[in-house]
Amino acid sequence: MSETKGAARAPQADLHDAPDPDAGEGPLARPGVDPPFRNYVLDHAYDEAFLPDGTPRPHYHALHERMSRLPVEELQRRQLACEQSFLHQGITFTVYGQKEATERIIPTDLLPRIVTADEWRKIDKGLKQRIQVLNLFLKDIYNEARVLKDGIIPRELIFGAKHFRREMRGVPVPRDAYVTVCGSDLVRREDGAFVVLEDNLRVPSGVSYMLANRDVVRRAFPALFRAAGVRAIEHYPQELLATLHSLAPPHRDNPRIVLLTPGIFNSAYYEHAFLARQMGIELVEGRDLLVHDNVVYMRTTSGLERVDVIYRRIDDDFCDPLIFRRDSTLGVPGLFNCYRAGNVVIANALGNGVADDKAVYAYVPRLIRYYLGEDPVIEQVETWLCREPAQLSHVLANLDKLVVKAVGESGGYGMLVGPHASAAERAAFREKLVQDPDNYIAQPTIQLSRSPCFVGDGVEARHIDLRPFILHGADTVIVPGGLTRVALKRGSLVVNSSQGGGSKDTWVLSEGE
């Protein structure tokens, strides 16, 4: 029977303490010179906290001062308390392909990443523009396909895409919200400008870790948090619930919403259980649902209850074994016919993966101009399409300088980071490119910005990105913050949790420099 799975919230480690002890009125620590910043290195990558001369950026001054005054032992205690809090709550992620145990605590960093109000205003505007265009694009290619007829994007690129679903042609989508939840990844260039690295439109994850990071860091630095004027993110589950409600069939006065999970062995199962609990909806697996007369029902102890909206956290292929993968035991037989008939809403809509295909990504600025007649508010990374012979030649000649990605993959899989790869790894990838060029794109190696992280017994710089979460239904909402992912290995550019990365809290200031 269906139920909201996941244990009740466990007691958390106590992060509250006496007022922070000061180390006196001496000079503040300098990067690369004084504890705890002795091992902090400034180089050509944009540093979130420090100017090139080592002076703290204005919005980081208070955090830098606090870190300079606290003894290392106190910082270690607070970092340990954060980690214990994650352990007690069962906040885990599965790292596949490792010889050792795969279920791990999400590494979290004690120090927040800080974004000014002015920076956030541009991010908010740019991401709302982007999700509007991606929804227009998806509606177009699954209906009139004007963008293909006008030659804005090659037909073969769409119809040959791994995640294009012909079954979605002509299927009505409530409010044309093909993308209900989006997690776009942003990085800073060396000049400090944010650019879009990629979009995640299928089943984006990480929002629970964003909320968990806020919880522990706010309690680690309560006075600093209050004084900084940090904008709230805790209302995200209620915003998500309101967005899902806005998509429900209009004739259903009290629509039932469920979250469909693959089950406890999925890497992000903690997040599924967390969100269902926070929204007050049922967490279900495919076996908890059935279809009768083109209507979806949920099995309960009091009988069958109709389901109106499904927030799915399983991939397209596994949703309905009658339409997609016949060997799937995770989905619901007959679900797609109910969806096509308009008797149930699925968010995100099926077939969205064609719009976050990494080859399609290269055309998004052109799509913004085509659908809106506007320039992109946020730029994106230069991209070479290996399907084009001239661009493939450039990529093959510069493998030691580029990042090469498989167009239909996510989570850091199917990727080569040329500057960090061995000659043998580059040679092996070269063969893949030559044999299947359509499956790859390449981008310049961006020196992701770096942020202070507490590592061992001091503060060191680590590369980071930012994944804000965009909700789109009756309205478009972005909570002011996001998941800042951290490349924990010194010098690494790979931030994905699936590849062993960590995360930290993101503070968006209500007033900014």
Q: Of 80, 40, 71, 44, nearest to 56 (Cα)? A: 40
- For the stretch 4-30, pLDDT in tens is 434 334 444 444 444 444 444 557 888
Query: Is residue 486 classed as helix, strand or coil in its secondary structure?
Result: strand
- For the stretch 385-407, pLDDT in tens is 999 999 999 999 999 999 999 88
Strands 108-115 and 502-508, how do they pair?
A: parallel
Number of residues assigned to the chain? 513
For range 137-153, the mean pLDDT:
98
Give residue limits of the domains in the chain: 58-121+186-232+452-508, 124-181+238-372, 384-444
**The dihedral formed by the CA atoms of 115, 118, 124 and 129, expressed in degrees to the nearest 10:** -140
Please state which CATH number belongs to domain 384-444.
3.30.1490.270
Which range is least confidently modeled, 91-105, 289-303, 317-331, 450-464?
91-105
The angle that helices 207-220 and 72-89 make with each other, rounded to 10 degrees, is: 140
Q: Regarding predicted confidence, which is higher, 500 or 359?
A: 359
For range 254-271, the mean pLDDT:
93
pTM: 0.90
Locate all alpha helices (DSSP H) within 202-300, ordered by sequence. Answer: 207-220, 222-228, 236-246, 269-279
Q: Is the pLDDT of residue 210 over 90?
A: yes
- For the stretch 407-442, pLDDT in tens is 877 656 778 988 889 999 999 999 999 999 998 999
- For the stretch 463-511, pLDDT in tens is 999 999 999 999 999 999 999 999 988 888 878 776 668 899 999 999 7
Class of 124-181+238-372 in CATH: alpha beta
DSSP letter for each residue of 103-171: EEEPPEEEEEEEE-HHHHHHHHHHHHHHHHHHHHHHHHHTTT-HHHHTTSS-HHHHHT-TT--GGGTT-
pLDDT at 361: 94
Q: How many CB atoms lie within 10 A of CB 380?
A: 20
pLDDT at 424: 93
